[in-house]
Amino acid sequence: MKCIINRRAQFSASHRYWLPELSAADNLAQFGLCTRSPGHGHNYVLYVAMAGELDEYGMVLNLSDVKQVIKQEVTSQLDFSYLNEAWDEFRQTLPTTENMARVIWQRLSPHLPLVNIQLFEHPELWADYEGNGMEAYLTISTHFSAAHRLARPDLSFEQNSEIYGKCAREHGHGHNYHLDVTIKGEIDPRTGMIADLVAFQKAVDKWVVEPMDHSFLNKDLPYFAEVVPTAENIAVHIRDLLQQPIREIGAQLHKIKLIESPNNSCEVYCTSESANSLTQADRVLVQA
């Protein structure tokens, strides 16, 4: 039986975004505060996912052996390091989160049956790499607070209450929504970036967080005047809002994950083409 296992590791390191072929002004325009000398640091968290058949002892791999491989090949070399000089790969391509995930894959793949490398720079920014050349995934996490009422305008209060329960009450209720937006694209061989991170964050803020934060979704967003703002419909709408802005920064929108509460979340996987409604090519996962 095939199984995927994960091993967590961590290291602390510093890095700087700076290209010597650019002027100070151009570096600042490209990388912002990340150009400051001598650099800045993070507590990185690494998840190594591996796949294989269960052996007679009920294991895919001996995790003690896995731990030693990760330590020898990655964490012992990167912990308390200046990343720009730690590995030759980072002299050629800057040690961004997505490029670090790619290079860590390259370092570990001769030793472990990898299926994914996930690297957290901090809890609101992480990258995934699956071994596909220069293609990687980058996720930012954000939040907004909003109220909504689950009720179809063509149904009576009694009918809506039968379908949506307490969520159909007239004055609605609120949530602290957590939103993960994942893009995918090719890592630039010099900057190490899928897309401009600042532009990525600004797109999410402009199209999603600013209009939705501290709103009553049914009343403040015209889209939800007729569409019931379930977590699924909100996620689909966010998908539709962001596809074009993400294309404009040179990447492709991959996934929207909306966490309505600790008990409820929804994931919408995106198609390569813009859509105004959910199609058969899309995949929606709801966890309750």
Residue 133 CA neighbour count, 13 Å, CB half? 8
**Annotated catalytic residue 34:** no
Q: Which of 135, 167, 178, 254 is catalytic?
A: 167
94 and 150 assigned to the same domain? no
Instruction: Count structural domains, the chain.
Output: 2
Q: Please tell me the predicted confidence (pLDDT) of residue 100.
A: 98
CB distance 266 to 235 below 8 Å = yes
The secondary element (H helix, E strand) that includes residue 283 is strand 283-287
Q: Domain end: 87, 118, 133, which one?
A: 133
CA distance linking residue 152 with residue 228, whole number of Å: 6
CB distance 222 to 239 below 8 Å = no
Q: Please tell me the predicted confidence (pLDDT) of residue 1.
A: 83
CA distances from 164 to 138, 153, 156 (A): 35, 13, 12
Using one digit for the tens of pLDDT, what is the confidence trace for 239-277? 999 999 999 999 999 999 999 999 999 999 986 543 443
pTM: 0.91
171 and 221 assigned to the same domain? yes
**Annotated catalytic residue 167:** yes
183 and 242 assigned to the same domain? yes
Q: Please tell me the predicted confidence (pLDDT) of residue 288.
A: 47
CA angle 236, 242, 246 (to 5 degrees): 140
156 and 37 assigned to the same domain? no
128 and 171 assigned to the same domain? no
57 phi, psi to nearest 5 deg:
-100, 5
CA distance linking residue 219 with residue 229, whole number of Å: 11
Helices (H), 24-155: 24-31, 63-70, 76-78, 83-86, 89-92, 97-108
Q: Which of 260, 266, 267, 270 is catalytic?
A: 260
pLDDT at 5 over 80: yes
What residue numbers bound the domain in which 168 lies?
Answer: 134-288
CA distance linking residue 90 with residue 83, whole number of Å: 7
CA distance linking residue 180 with residue 166, whole number of Å: 27
pLDDT at 286 over 90: no
Tokens read off for 124 = 């609101």
143 and 49 assigned to the same domain? no
Q: Which of 40, 122, 143, 214 is catalytic?
A: 214
Using one digit for the tens of pLDDT, what is the confidence trace for 12-34? 999 999 999 999 999 999 999 99
Q: For residue 282, give the nearest of 250, 244, 236 by alpha carbon.
A: 236
CA distance linking residue 213 with residue 247, whole number of Å: 24
Q: Domain end: 133, 148, 170, which one?
A: 133
Q: For residue 248, give the nearest of 212, 281, 279, 204 by alpha carbon.
A: 204
